Amino acid sequence: MSTVNETKINQLLNLQPAGVVLTSAWLSEHGYSYDLLRKYVKNNWLSSIGRGAHIRHGDSVGYLGGIYALQSQLGLSVHPAAKTALALLGKSHYLELAPKRVQLFSTRNEKLPAWYKKYDWPIKWSCKYTDFLPPDLGLVNYESRNFEVKVSNPARAIMECLYLAPKSQPLLEVYELMEGLNNLRPKTVQELLENCTSVKVKRLFLYMADKARHSWLPLINLDKVDLGKGKRSIVSDGTYISDYQLVVPKELEGLS
Protein backbone atom coordinates (compact mmCIF):
# COMPACT_ATOMS: atom_id res chain seq x y z
CA MET A 1 0.00 0.00 0.00
CA SER A 2 1.26 3.47 -0.86
CA THR A 3 2.58 5.86 1.76
CA VAL A 4 -0.30 8.20 0.97
CA ASN A 5 -2.87 5.50 1.71
CA GLU A 6 -1.04 4.46 4.88
CA THR A 7 -1.09 8.05 6.07
CA LYS A 8 -4.80 8.29 5.28
CA ILE A 9 -5.70 5.11 7.16
CA ASN A 10 -3.67 6.28 10.16
CA GLN A 11 -5.61 9.54 10.09
CA LEU A 12 -8.83 7.52 9.97
CA LEU A 13 -7.91 5.37 12.93
CA ASN A 14 -7.09 8.48 14.95
CA LEU A 15 -10.52 9.98 14.26
CA GLN A 16 -12.46 7.31 16.10
CA PRO A 17 -11.68 5.37 19.29
CA ALA A 18 -10.80 1.69 19.31
CA GLY A 19 -13.62 -0.76 19.96
CA VAL A 20 -16.23 0.95 17.78
CA VAL A 21 -17.82 0.28 14.41
CA LEU A 22 -16.91 2.53 11.48
CA THR A 23 -19.92 3.01 9.21
CA SER A 24 -19.52 3.44 5.46
CA ALA A 25 -21.71 6.56 5.57
CA TRP A 26 -19.39 8.21 8.09
CA LEU A 27 -16.30 7.04 6.23
CA SER A 28 -17.64 8.44 2.97
CA GLU A 29 -18.31 11.81 4.58
CA HIS A 30 -14.66 11.90 5.64
CA GLY A 31 -13.29 11.16 2.18
CA TYR A 32 -12.87 7.40 2.22
CA SER A 33 -14.19 5.95 -1.03
CA TYR A 34 -15.54 2.45 -1.54
CA ASP A 35 -12.44 1.48 -3.54
CA LEU A 36 -10.13 2.79 -0.84
CA LEU A 37 -11.99 0.83 1.82
CA ARG A 38 -11.63 -2.33 -0.26
CA LYS A 39 -7.88 -1.76 -0.29
CA TYR A 40 -7.84 -1.31 3.49
CA VAL A 41 -9.73 -4.60 3.92
CA LYS A 42 -7.43 -6.38 1.46
CA ASN A 43 -4.37 -5.14 3.34
CA ASN A 44 -5.80 -6.08 6.76
CA TRP A 45 -6.28 -2.55 8.04
CA LEU A 46 -10.03 -2.95 8.29
CA SER A 47 -12.47 -5.86 8.48
CA SER A 48 -16.02 -5.76 7.13
CA ILE A 49 -18.76 -6.85 9.56
CA GLY A 50 -21.57 -6.43 7.07
CA ARG A 51 -22.70 -4.13 4.32
CA GLY A 52 -22.02 -0.56 5.39
CA ALA A 53 -19.85 -1.28 8.44
CA HIS A 54 -16.20 -1.96 9.26
CA ILE A 55 -14.03 -2.42 12.32
CA ARG A 56 -10.29 -2.20 12.80
CA HIS A 57 -8.70 -5.50 11.81
CA GLY A 58 -8.38 -7.69 14.90
CA ASP A 59 -10.37 -5.28 17.07
CA SER A 60 -12.81 -6.59 19.67
CA VAL A 61 -16.12 -4.76 19.33
CA GLY A 62 -19.08 -5.25 21.67
CA TYR A 63 -22.66 -4.14 21.17
CA LEU A 64 -21.88 -0.74 22.74
CA GLY A 65 -19.28 -0.17 20.02
CA GLY A 66 -22.11 -0.65 17.55
CA ILE A 67 -24.41 1.66 19.51
CA TYR A 68 -21.67 4.31 19.44
CA ALA A 69 -21.66 4.20 15.64
CA LEU A 70 -25.46 4.30 15.43
CA GLN A 71 -25.64 7.33 17.71
CA SER A 72 -22.59 9.40 16.82
CA GLN A 73 -22.07 8.49 13.16
CA LEU A 74 -25.63 7.85 11.94
CA GLY A 75 -27.52 10.13 14.34
CA LEU A 76 -29.99 7.47 15.49
CA SER A 77 -31.87 7.63 18.80
CA VAL A 78 -31.41 3.94 19.70
CA HIS A 79 -29.95 3.54 23.20
CA PRO A 80 -29.47 1.02 26.02
CA ALA A 81 -32.66 1.25 28.04
CA ALA A 82 -34.83 -0.17 30.80
CA LYS A 83 -33.08 -2.74 33.03
CA THR A 84 -29.98 -2.71 30.81
CA ALA A 85 -29.43 1.00 31.44
CA LEU A 86 -29.98 0.52 35.18
CA ALA A 87 -27.38 -2.25 35.19
CA LEU A 88 -24.85 -0.12 33.31
CA LEU A 89 -25.40 2.69 35.81
CA GLY A 90 -25.00 0.33 38.78
CA LYS A 91 -28.65 0.43 39.84
CA SER A 92 -29.59 -3.23 39.44
CA HIS A 93 -26.51 -5.19 40.52
CA TYR A 94 -28.44 -7.10 43.15
CA LEU A 95 -30.91 -8.50 40.62
CA GLU A 96 -28.86 -9.93 37.79
CA LEU A 97 -25.09 -10.25 37.82
CA ALA A 98 -24.76 -11.59 34.27
CA PRO A 99 -27.58 -10.38 32.00
CA LYS A 100 -28.39 -12.73 29.13
CA ARG A 101 -29.91 -10.05 26.89
CA VAL A 102 -29.65 -6.30 26.55
CA GLN A 103 -32.67 -4.09 25.97
CA LEU A 104 -32.57 -1.22 23.50
CA PHE A 105 -35.22 1.41 22.82
CA SER A 106 -35.65 3.42 19.63
CA THR A 107 -38.26 5.67 18.05
CA ARG A 108 -41.14 4.04 16.24
CA ASN A 109 -40.14 5.02 12.69
CA GLU A 110 -36.40 4.42 13.14
CA LYS A 111 -34.78 1.40 11.52
CA LEU A 112 -31.55 -0.19 12.63
CA PRO A 113 -29.19 -1.00 9.73
CA ALA A 114 -28.91 -4.59 8.59
CA TRP A 115 -25.30 -4.91 9.71
CA TYR A 116 -26.28 -4.25 13.32
CA LYS A 117 -29.16 -6.71 13.23
CA LYS A 118 -27.20 -9.47 11.52
CA TYR A 119 -23.84 -9.20 13.25
CA ASP A 120 -23.02 -11.87 15.83
CA TRP A 121 -22.64 -9.66 18.92
CA PRO A 122 -21.23 -11.28 22.09
CA ILE A 123 -24.63 -10.85 23.81
CA LYS A 124 -28.22 -11.16 22.60
CA TRP A 125 -30.26 -8.00 22.25
CA SER A 126 -33.78 -6.80 21.51
CA CYS A 127 -35.11 -3.38 20.57
CA LYS A 128 -38.44 -1.77 21.42
CA TYR A 129 -39.69 0.82 18.94
CA THR A 130 -41.89 3.40 20.62
CA ASP A 131 -42.52 7.14 20.97
CA PHE A 132 -43.97 7.08 24.49
CA LEU A 133 -41.15 9.41 25.58
CA PRO A 134 -39.29 12.04 23.52
CA PRO A 135 -36.10 10.48 22.10
CA ASP A 136 -33.77 13.13 23.53
CA LEU A 137 -35.22 13.32 27.05
CA GLY A 138 -33.72 11.60 30.09
CA LEU A 139 -30.45 10.37 28.60
CA VAL A 140 -26.99 10.44 30.18
CA ASN A 141 -23.51 9.68 28.89
CA TYR A 142 -22.06 6.30 29.82
CA GLU A 143 -18.34 5.69 29.38
CA SER A 144 -17.39 2.31 27.95
CA ARG A 145 -13.69 1.68 27.51
CA ASN A 146 -12.52 4.83 25.73
CA PHE A 147 -15.79 6.07 24.21
CA GLU A 148 -19.19 7.26 25.39
CA VAL A 149 -22.73 6.29 24.47
CA LYS A 150 -26.04 7.74 25.58
CA VAL A 151 -28.14 5.54 27.87
CA SER A 152 -31.38 6.11 29.75
CA ASN A 153 -30.99 7.81 33.10
CA PRO A 154 -32.52 5.91 36.08
CA ALA A 155 -35.89 7.71 35.94
CA ARG A 156 -36.35 7.11 32.22
CA ALA A 157 -35.06 3.54 32.54
CA ILE A 158 -37.63 2.58 35.18
CA MET A 159 -40.38 4.07 32.98
CA GLU A 160 -39.11 1.95 30.09
CA CYS A 161 -39.28 -1.10 32.36
CA LEU A 162 -42.90 -0.22 33.14
CA TYR A 163 -43.63 0.23 29.44
CA LEU A 164 -42.48 -3.36 28.89
CA ALA A 165 -44.45 -4.67 31.88
CA PRO A 166 -46.06 -7.01 32.52
CA LYS A 167 -45.64 -8.89 29.24
CA SER A 168 -41.87 -8.54 28.82
CA GLN A 169 -40.85 -7.37 32.27
CA PRO A 170 -42.11 -8.75 35.60
CA LEU A 171 -43.76 -6.04 37.68
CA LEU A 172 -42.37 -7.37 40.95
CA GLU A 173 -38.85 -7.01 39.59
CA VAL A 174 -39.60 -3.44 38.47
CA TYR A 175 -40.77 -2.64 41.98
CA GLU A 176 -37.53 -4.02 43.43
CA LEU A 177 -35.67 -1.71 41.07
CA MET A 178 -37.90 1.23 42.02
CA GLU A 179 -37.17 0.65 45.71
CA GLY A 180 -33.50 1.41 45.04
CA LEU A 181 -34.16 4.72 43.29
CA ASN A 182 -34.37 6.88 46.39
CA ASN A 183 -32.30 9.74 45.01
CA LEU A 184 -34.04 10.62 41.75
CA ARG A 185 -34.09 14.31 40.92
CA PRO A 186 -37.67 15.66 41.16
CA LYS A 187 -37.07 18.03 38.23
CA THR A 188 -36.04 15.12 36.00
CA VAL A 189 -39.00 12.99 37.09
CA GLN A 190 -41.39 15.92 36.58
CA GLU A 191 -40.19 16.52 33.03
CA LEU A 192 -40.43 12.85 32.09
CA LEU A 193 -43.93 12.48 33.56
CA GLU A 194 -45.18 15.58 31.77
CA ASN A 195 -43.85 14.33 28.42
CA CYS A 196 -44.80 10.66 28.79
CA THR A 197 -47.77 9.63 26.63
CA SER A 198 -48.44 6.29 28.36
CA VAL A 199 -51.07 6.57 31.10
CA LYS A 200 -50.21 3.04 32.24
CA VAL A 201 -46.56 3.95 32.75
CA LYS A 202 -47.30 7.17 34.63
CA ARG A 203 -49.80 5.59 37.00
CA LEU A 204 -47.59 2.57 37.72
CA PHE A 205 -44.58 4.83 38.25
CA LEU A 206 -46.42 6.99 40.79
CA TYR A 207 -47.99 3.96 42.49
CA MET A 208 -44.62 2.24 42.94
CA ALA A 209 -42.88 5.42 44.07
CA ASP A 210 -45.65 5.95 46.62
CA LYS A 211 -45.44 2.34 47.78
CA ALA A 212 -41.66 2.68 48.16
CA ARG A 213 -42.19 5.90 50.18
CA HIS A 214 -39.64 7.88 48.20
CA SER A 215 -38.97 11.32 49.62
CA TRP A 216 -38.83 12.93 46.17
CA LEU A 217 -42.42 11.99 45.29
CA PRO A 218 -44.17 14.82 47.25
CA LEU A 219 -42.07 17.28 45.23
CA ILE A 220 -43.78 16.23 41.99
CA ASN A 221 -46.54 18.56 40.78
CA LEU A 222 -49.23 16.12 39.66
CA ASP A 223 -51.45 18.95 38.43
CA LYS A 224 -49.14 19.13 35.41
CA VAL A 225 -49.25 15.38 34.73
CA ASP A 226 -52.02 13.94 32.56
CA LEU A 227 -53.05 10.69 34.23
CA GLY A 228 -56.03 10.06 31.95
CA LYS A 229 -59.47 8.94 33.05
CA GLY A 230 -61.01 5.63 34.01
CA LYS A 231 -59.64 2.40 35.43
CA ARG A 232 -56.57 0.66 34.01
CA SER A 233 -56.17 -3.10 34.55
CA ILE A 234 -52.60 -4.33 34.44
CA VAL A 235 -53.80 -7.88 35.18
CA SER A 236 -57.27 -9.40 34.91
CA ASP A 237 -57.44 -10.77 38.45
CA GLY A 238 -55.71 -8.39 40.82
CA THR A 239 -56.13 -5.76 43.51
CA TYR A 240 -57.73 -2.41 42.71
CA ILE A 241 -55.76 0.65 43.87
CA SER A 242 -58.27 3.48 44.02
CA ASP A 243 -55.70 6.29 44.40
CA TYR A 244 -54.25 5.45 41.00
CA GLN A 245 -57.25 3.67 39.42
CA LEU A 246 -55.10 0.63 38.78
CA VAL A 247 -55.66 -3.10 39.02
CA VAL A 248 -52.27 -4.57 39.96
CA PRO A 249 -51.13 -8.11 40.78
CA LYS A 250 -52.12 -9.17 44.28
CA GLU A 251 -48.59 -10.27 45.10
CA LEU A 252 -47.31 -6.77 44.22
CA GLU A 253 -49.79 -4.97 46.44
CA GLY A 254 -49.06 -7.47 49.20
CA LEU A 255 -45.40 -6.41 49.39
CA SER A 256 -44.65 -4.20 52.39
* pLDDT value for 22: 97
What is the share, in percent, of the chain residues with pLDDT greater than 70?
A: 95
pLDDT digits (tens, 9 = 90+) for 208-230: 999 999 999 999 999 999 999 99
Three-class SS string for the chain?
CCHHHHHHHHHHHHHCCCCCCEEHHHHHHCCCCHHHHHHHHHCCCEEEEECCEEEECCCCCCHHHHHHHHHHHCCCCCEECHHHHHHHCCCCCCCCCCCCEEEEEECCCCCCCHHHHHCCCCCEEEEEECCCCCCCCCEEEEEECCEEEEEECHHHHHHHHHHHCCCCCCHHHHHHHHHCCCCCCHHHHHHHHHHCCCHHHHHHHHHHHHHCCCCCHHHCCHHHCCCCCCCEECCCCCEEECCCCEEECHHHHCCC
**Mean pLDDT computed over 19-24:** 96
Please give the model's pTM, rounded to 2 decimal places.
0.94
pLDDT digits (tens, 9 = 90+) for 149-177: 999 999 999 999 999 999 999 999 999 99
Distance from C-alpha of 209 to C-alpha of 227, rounded to nearest angstrom: 15
pLDDT digits (tens, 9 = 90+) for 58-110: 999 999 999 999 999 999 999 999 999 999 999 875 556 566 799 999 999 99
